[in-house]
């Protein structure tokens, strides 16, 4: 099964613009406890480089584009996000990196839990060990 699970959102488009609605337990497969967003991104500075023990997230590129790398400890996949009509679901214990941000890139992330630093695994070797040895 693919690590990269792209969610296609219904987009209501007309001459006034584009509207996309995200709803917990409907097109977002968890209760949303937190939303954060990233602006002023720079392709010189990739982000992420961590996994989460419990957290589930959906990332949406509201403007511009960027390349996500996802790694489950056995394989690595990449996907470009470049439309507000798609979200990338990232489950627990998936290493993620974000690269190649366009200058206008705006990323929003919906998260299943409040921020907790102790849910992060920021060391790839540790992630690999935990995910492969249970
Ligand atoms: P981090 O998740 O490491 O960002 P990235 O993986 O994109 O580089 O978060 C960067 C900093 O922001 C880190 O010090 C933790 C803090 N932070 C919060 O305080 N609350 C949050 O909801 C998030 C996502 C990060």
- Tens digit of pLDDT for each residue in 7-66? 999 999 999 999 999 999 999 999 999 999 999 999 999 999 999 999 999 999 999 999
**Nearest CA to 50 among 132, 116, 131, 127?**
127
Q: Which residue has a Cα nearest atom 2 of ligand 1?
A: 48
Query: pTM (2 decimals)?
Result: 0.97
Q: Whose CA is nearest to atom 18 of ligand 1?
A: 115
Q: Which of 34, 50, 63, 65 is catalytic?
A: 50
The tokens for 36 are 């954060």
């Amino acid at each position: 099964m693919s690590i990269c699970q792209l969610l296609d959102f219904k987009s209501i488009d007309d001459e006034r613009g584009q509207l996309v609605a995200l709803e917990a337990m409907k097109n977002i497969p968890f209760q949303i406890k937190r939303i954060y967003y990233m602006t002023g991104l720079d392709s010189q500075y990739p982000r992420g480089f961590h996994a989460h023990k419990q957290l589930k997230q959906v990332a949406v590129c509201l403007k511009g584009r960027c390349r996500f790398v996802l790694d489950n400890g056995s394989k690595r996949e990449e996907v470009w996000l470049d439309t507000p009509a798609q979200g990338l679901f990232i489950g627990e214990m998936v290493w993620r990196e974000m690269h190649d941000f366009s200058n206008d890139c705006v990323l929003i992330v919906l998260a299943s839990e409040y921020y907790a630093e102790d849910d992060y695994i920021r060391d790839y070797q540790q992630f690999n060990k935990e995910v492969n040895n249970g």
